[in-house]
């Protein structure tokens, strides 16, 4: 059984790695993938070996929460968490301002000792009221031998607080008597907590924007349905009871009126509109991208989430709940956003060891200060080590890939492009050869041709028309460096004609399924990255072999099951758009990773105080280290959000 479940409490890539590793260690879970930005875990598990309650308990043991029951609204939980985080952030800044006023002498507290003691109380209150979760999570993780950003925040604030508390009561005795200048750093304690909380607050707000497309899809799902008993209503009949969508079963008879959302996938049993007594007009643009309403008559299929623009209809429920086309689209987008690109797997492995490496770097900084500058540099050594702990939090690195993927998958869904996994999205950018089927993929059979036995007597353009923008799509693909091949089992005359109409130079007629597979193999042997596009069972062999498989949403279920990418509409401009989106996304990922690594490469030595060795009296303090860490994470998320607003080629 496969499920995608929300996970509460993840803040960095180390957090998502901890949850993922824990899930994979549980007996009965076959595979697990955790999405930091989407705050979800996709698990494939055997319910006979392990229950969701047991999984939730094990995740709770390491400091996180998993939502497994339907009566707990994720939106409500996140809204409550957001309000609490906002309240703590404001409180932390109030505490920071109070300590800053005392440490800078802006407020007369009765001398240095009194100011330090009062600052100690305020800093302790800040830790308890605003930073408690860091300590609780770090303790839970430590019991299981794992680390995260919480570990770094806990270590840095605890060390700074203890050192400052010692100086408050014994500073003059320990340091002053030896001629060593000493200070307390309670302002750093409160500022670290305030900046980290601020960073999380801004990140959560920005990350929330990356899920906009998915929420829009989910918002298309109606919550109620009107159940009726009569297959065909009498004149003026308004009977019908509104019930929750969860109570609808297969076979139920439902009525939908103009402007209402169709609640389930079903078959029309009766339809009427202002224009005709036997049909209704349905807006299916959210599925197909077509702006013109579709005409639906008795026996036609209608889909959940689509809306009658004129008239009303009655339908027999055929697919309900998770079986509807809309629910499957939402599931595909959720799983795709939770999947990992190959580059992300490398980042995850780095993140799993990053925190221990940072801790070692901080310890090394402390030791080197003492070795180089002597015992008199102990205060400086401690503060430098703390700054290293804070500045090197791996948040930006962990957010680099998933934020870009989340935005990209959502944008693709808005363009009626369903991408099943991140690997396909990353692979699309390499495509330099496209093999396409003809009928149903490149062309549409003329619905007005009823007598198919006489089809050969008609002109070619009267039989199969090109799909919208097919020629434009081919021209765009050529400009992008993609070689297009048309394969069809049709006759030479027909295939040649439509290849010419579409502007395709490479084509073959009279081919069998094995011939399509052979061409894919041949192109791959020439070093090309091949995408196969088809809509029928005869295309599945080639689809399965291709580097990227693309199915048409109006095709067979078998083709769509095999394919990694599904085009929901008939506009073939979505093909170059998908390739362009892939190229932009991967470029964005590498941009994010570059700046995340550059940030650490530059800031780590500055936090450690390396410039002092060259006579430059400059160093990143713990307070500013926290600010820079928050800023780096936010910059990565905001950079990824730019994908939402770029104009794709051919769209």
Catalytic residues: 437
Where does 382-451 show beta strands of DSSP type E?
A: 417-419, 433-436
Using DSSP, state whether 111 is helix, strand or coil. coil
Contacts of 452 (CB under 8 A, 6+ apart): none
Query: Tokens 């089809």 map to which residue?
Result: 455
Beta bridge partners of 40: 6, 35
Q: What are phi and psi of 526, to 5 degrees?
A: -85, 5
d(CA 332, CA 128): 42
d(CA 437, CA 532): 8
- Are the C-beta atoms of residues 4 and 335 closer than 8 Å to each other? yes
Centre a 10 Å sphere on the Cβ of residue 491 and count the other Cβ atoms it contains: 13
Q: Are β-strands 506-508 and 483-487 bridged in parallel, bridged antiparallel, or unpaired?
A: parallel
Element holding 538 (H helix, E strand): none
Beta bridge partners of 3: 43
CA torsion sign, 182 to 186 to 189 to 191? negative
Please write down the HEC assignment for all residues of 21-70: HHHHHCCCEEEEEEECCCCEEEEEECCCCCCHHHHHHHHHHCCCEECCCC
Centre a 10 Å sphere on the Cβ of residue 145 and count the other Cβ atoms it contains: 6
Strand ranges across the sheet with 29-35: 29-35, 40-45, 2-8, 65-66
Contacts of 307 (CB under 8 A, 6+ apart): 259, 260, 261, 262, 282, 283
CA distances from 56 to 5, 303, 318, 559 (A): 10, 35, 34, 36
d(CA 207, CA 637): 7
Using DSSP, state whether 595 is helix, strand or coil. helix
CA distances from 127 to 10, 156, 389 (A): 20, 12, 17
CA angle 237, 241, 246 (to 5 degrees): 145
d(CA 269, CA 115): 80
- Give 451's Cβ-side CA count (13 Å radius): 5
Contacts of 356 (CB under 8 A, 6+ apart): 147
CA angle 431, 590, 476 (to 5 degrees): 30
Question: What is the DSSP annotation of 601-638?
Answer: HHHHHHHHTGGGGGT------HHHHHHHHHHHHHHHHH
Q: If we measure between CA atoms, which residue out of 579, 568, 509, 511 comes closest to residue 539?
A: 511
Q: Are β-strands 565-567 and 548-552 bridged in parallel, bridged antiparallel, or unpaired?
A: parallel
d(CA 577, CA 613): 53
d(CA 605, CA 599): 11
């Amino acid at each position: 059984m496969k499920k995608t479940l929300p996970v509460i409490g993840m803040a960095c890539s180390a957090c998502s790695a901890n949850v993922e590793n824990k899930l994979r260690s549980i007996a009965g879970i076959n595979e697990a993938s955790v999405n930091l930005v989407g705050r979800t875990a996709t698990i494939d598990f055997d319910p006979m070996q392990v229950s969701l309650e047991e999984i939730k308990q094990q995740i709770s043991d390491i400091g996180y929460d998993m939502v497994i029951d339907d009566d707990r609204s994720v939106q409500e939980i996140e809204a409550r968490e957001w309000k609490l985080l906002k309240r703590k952030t404001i409180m932390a800044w109030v505490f920071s301002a109070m300590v800053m006023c005392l440490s800078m002498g802006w407020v007369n507290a009765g001398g240095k000792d009194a100011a330090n003691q009062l600052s100690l109380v305020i800093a302790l209150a800040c830790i308890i009221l605003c930073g408690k979760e860091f300590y609780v999570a770090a303790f839970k993780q430590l019991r299981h031998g794992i680390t995260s950003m919480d570990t770094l925040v806990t270590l840095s604030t605890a060390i700074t607080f203890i050192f400052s508390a010692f100086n408050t009561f014994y500073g003059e005795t320990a340091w002053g008597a030896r001629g060593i200048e000493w200070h307390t750093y309670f302002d750093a304690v409160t500022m670290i907590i305030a900046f980290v909380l601020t960073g999380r607050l801004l990140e959560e707000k920005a990350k929330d924007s990356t899920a906009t497309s998915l929420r829009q899809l989910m918002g298309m799902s109606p919550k109620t349905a009107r159940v009726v008993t009569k297959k065909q209503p009498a004149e003026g009949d308004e009977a019908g009871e509104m019930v929750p969508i969860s109570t609808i079963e297969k076979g139920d008879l439902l009525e939908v009126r103009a402007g209402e959302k169709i609640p389930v996938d079903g078959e029309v049993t009766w339809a009427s509109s202002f224009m005709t007594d036997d049909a209704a007009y349905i807006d299916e643009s959210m599925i197909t991208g077509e702006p013109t309403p579709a005409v639906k008559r008795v026996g036609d299929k209608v889909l959940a989430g689509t809306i009658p623009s004129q008239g009303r209809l009655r339908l027999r429920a055929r697919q309900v709940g998770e079986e509807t086309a809309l629910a499957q689209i939402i599931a595909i987008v959720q799983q795709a956003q939770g999947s990992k690109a190959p580059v992300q797997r490398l980042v995850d492995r780095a993140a799993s060891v990053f925190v221990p490496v940072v801790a070692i770097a901080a310890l090394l900084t402390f030791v080197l200060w003492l070795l180089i500058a002597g015992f008199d540099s102990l205060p400086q050594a401690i503060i430098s080590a703390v700054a290293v702990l804070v500045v090197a939090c791996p948040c930006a690195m962990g957010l680099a890939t998933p934020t870009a993927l989340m935005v990209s998958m959502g944008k693709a869904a808005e363009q009626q492009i369903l991408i099943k996994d991140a690997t396909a999205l990353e692979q699309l950018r390499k495509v330099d050869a496209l093999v396409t089927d003809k009928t149903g993929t490149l062309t549409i059979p003329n619905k007005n041709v009823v007598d198919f036995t006489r089809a050969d007597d008609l002109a070619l353009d009267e039989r199969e028309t090109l799909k919208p923008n097919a020629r434009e799509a081919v021209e765009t693909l050529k400009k992008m460096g993609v070689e297009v091949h048309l394969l069809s089992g049709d006759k030479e005359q027909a295939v040649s004609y439509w290849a010419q109409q579409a502007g395709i130079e490479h084509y073959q007629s009279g081919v069998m399924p094995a011939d399509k597979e052979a061409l894919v193999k041949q192109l791959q042997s020439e070093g090309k990255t091949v995408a196969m596009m088809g809509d029928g069972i005869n295309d599945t062999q080639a689809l399965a072999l291709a580097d990227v498989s693309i199915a048409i949403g109006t095709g067979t279920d078998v083709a769509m099951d095999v394919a990694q990418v599904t085009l929901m509409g008939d506009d073939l401009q979505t093909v170059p758009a998908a390739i362009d989106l892939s190229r932009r996304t991967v470029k964005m990922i590498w941009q994010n990773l570059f700046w995340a690594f550059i940030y650490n490469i530059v800031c780590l030595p500055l936090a450690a105080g390396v410039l002092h060795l060259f006579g430059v009296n400059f160093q990143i303090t713990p307070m500013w280290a926290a600010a820079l860490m928050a800023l780096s994470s936010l910059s990565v998320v905001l950079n990824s959000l730019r994908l939402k607003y770029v104009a794709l080629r051919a769209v």
